[in-house]
Amino acid sequence: MAFTQFSDQSQGVQLLQRSLARGRLGHAYLFSGHQLETLETLARTLAKTLNCQHPVQTAGVATDCCDACPNCQKIDNDAHADIHWARAESKSRIISVDQTRELSREIQLKPTAGGYKIAIIAGADRLNAQAANAFLKTLEEPPPKSVLILLTTEPSRILETILSRCLRLNFSAESARQLSTEQAIWLQQFSSAAAGEQKSLFGRYRLLDALLQHLTALRARVEETLSARSPLEKYSDAEKDLREKWEEELKAGIEAEYRRQRAEVLLLLQWWLRDVWFWTLAAGEELLHLPQIAGADEVAKRISPRQAEANLSVLEQTQRLLHSNVQEALALEVGLLKLQL
């Protein structure tokens, strides 16, 4: 994608393009927003713009990518030698100090194609203290022709020492959310079920079952997709040690991608609960995140604004629990039973 295609993120994109046009691009950025996938695409677009062979120019300065040249294609496919990524891949869901040290080493090398070296940390809130401290020197003294981009959906979990060294751009637009067809169908089903009377435990457990079934299907799809991409499928005759390494990487990759997509599902529920709260306040339909999803107004008729606001806190607590080692089904069960619907 090119910057021109991010119409719903126009303010943040305009700030970036203005910095490019004025030659005032920062050396370190923190992109925050609701969806890590969107932030990754934005980071790729900035990397493409800085390394594009045929960029869109403003007053002779590159302000967008062509999205078609070999460099742009390589960056889209994570195959460009000057673009380096770090993601939480271990079972502990932490970005380790070894990963940040390797990223720092790579960024110190000169660009191979004469453009910019770009280091991107996806899920910077997963940096542990040791990894964050190891990366501070690179943030403070980045080499010439380099840009560091940290991405997060939870900026509050990032150490202040990291935050203070980055220019922050928030891509969490407060307009109505555009849902995929699958997201809209599932959330409408959940909303319709919640709109029914929820006085009995049976009704509440029906909601839990709907959520768990959705997450089970989501995990199965993630496993199928990543397994198909794994070298295990291509090189069945590989040596045992190499196959074991690939198996561990696949397990970690599946867990990381599943947790990312699970967080998006819970974010949908958070938006829906926010809409319930706004209905209780009679704040106006134009402020709703999800005006296309029916049912939130019916729930709002049964509860007070204070109860609706408390629901948001319950979901935030559930999300924090899921970042720990607590059993997923238990955390979701406790959370849904606490909701006042």
Residue 291's domain is classified under what CATH number? 1.20.272
Last residue of a domain, one of 127, 144, 170: 170
Maximum average pLDDT range among 23-27, 29-33, 118-122, 140-144: 118-122
Residue of higher predicted confidence among 124 and 321 = 124
- What contacts 93, CB < 8 A, 6 or more positions away? 126, 255, 256, 259, 323
Q: Identify whether residues 166 and 209 lie together within a single domain.
A: no
- Is 242 within a domain? yes
Q: Identify whether residues 52 and 95 lie together within a single domain.
A: yes
Q: Identify whether residues 55 and 84 lie together within a single domain.
A: yes
Look over the chain and give the mean of its residue pLDDT values, rounded to a whole number: 87
Distance CA 289, CA 278 (A): 10
Is the pLDDT confidence value at 174 over 70? Answer: no
What average pLDDT does range 206-235 have in this prediction?
Answer: 88
- Is 254 within a domain? yes
- What's the pLDDT score for residue 56? 94
Model pLDDT for residues 265-290, shown as the tens digit of each residue: 998 898 899 889 989 888 666 667 78
- What's the pLDDT score for residue 90? 58
Q: How many domains, the chain?
A: 2
Q: Identify whether residues 32 and 145 lie together within a single domain.
A: yes
Residue 52's domain is classified under what CATH number? 3.40.50.300
Name the pLDDT band for 29 (thresholds 50, 70, 90).
Answer: very high
Last residue of a domain, one of 170, 202, 225: 170
- Is 175 within a domain? no
- What's the pLDDT score for residue 44? 95
Is the pLDDT confidence value at 46 over 90? Answer: yes
Distance CA 28, CA 116 (A): 13
Domain that holds residue 41: 3-170
- Predicted TM-score of the model (pTM): 0.58
- Is 120 within a domain? yes
In our burial notation (b when 16+ CB lie closer than 10 A, e otherwise), range 267-303 reads bbbbbbbbbbbbbbeeeeeeebbbeebebbbbbbebb
SS3 breakdown of the chain: % helix, strand, coil, rounded to 5?
Answer: 60, 10, 30
* 3-state SS, residue 105: helix
Question: Residue 318: which of 267, 284, 274, 247 has the closest Cα?
Answer: 267
Q: Identify whether residues 94 and 129 lie together within a single domain.
A: yes
Name the pLDDT band for 117 (thresholds 50, 70, 90).
Answer: very high
Strands 146-152 and 83-87: unpaired
- Which one-letter amino acid corresponds to residue 287? L
Q: Identify whether residues 12 and 149 lie together within a single domain.
A: yes
- What contacts 182, CB < 8 A, 6 or more positions away? none
Residue of higher predicted confidence among 72 and 313 = 72
Model pLDDT for residues 307-332, shown as the tens digit of each residue: 998 998 898 888 878 877 789 999 99
- What's the pLDDT score for residue 202? 83
Q: Identify whether residues 209 and 122 lie together within a single domain.
A: no
- What's the pLDDT score for residue 78? 87
Last residue of a domain, one of 135, 170, 205: 170
Residue of higher predicted confidence among 283 and 180 = 180
Model pLDDT for residues 250-260, shown as the tens digit of each residue: 888 888 888 88
Token pair in block for residue 102: 């390797």
- What's the pLDDT score for residue 53? 94
Q: Identify whether residues 95 and 237 lie together within a single domain.
A: no
Among 135-149, 152-166, 273-287, where is mean pLDDT lowest? 273-287
- What's the pLDDT score for residue 219? 93
- What's the pLDDT score for residue 231? 83
Q: Identify whether residues 239 and 157 lie together within a single domain.
A: no
CB-CB contact of 100 with 127 (8 Å):
yes
DSSP assignment string, 176-235: PPPPPHHHHHHHHHHHHHHHS---SHHHHHHHHHHHHHHHHHHHHHHHHHHHHHSHHHH-
What are the backbone dihedrals phi and psi of residue 197, each rounded to the nearest 5 degrees, phi first? -60, 135
Distance CA 296, CA 280 (A): 10
Is the pLDDT confidence value at 171 over 90? Answer: no
Name the pLDDT band for 177 (thresholds 50, 70, 90).
Answer: low
- Is 176 within a domain? no
Name the pLDDT band for 236 (thresholds 50, 70, 90).
Answer: confident
What average pLDDT does range 3-29 have in this prediction?
Answer: 85
Q: Identify whether residues 96 and 138 lie together within a single domain.
A: yes
Is the pLDDT confidence value at 94 over 70? Answer: yes
Distance CA 256, CA 226 (A): 11
Q: Identify whether residues 58 and 159 lie together within a single domain.
A: yes
Name the pLDDT band for 62 (thresholds 50, 70, 90).
Answer: very high
- What's the pLDDT score for residue 176? 53
The contacts found for 140-145 with CB under 8 angstroms, 24 or more apart, are 140/165, 142/27, 142/28, 142/107, 143/107, 143/108, 143/117, 145/110, 145/111, 145/115, 145/116, 145/117
- What's the pLDDT score for residue 88? 81
Angle between helical axes of 36-51 and 240-281 (0-180°, round to 10): 110
- Is 31 within a domain? yes
Q: Identify whether residues 154 and 214 lie together within a single domain.
A: no
Residue of higher predicted confidence among 8 and 238 = 238
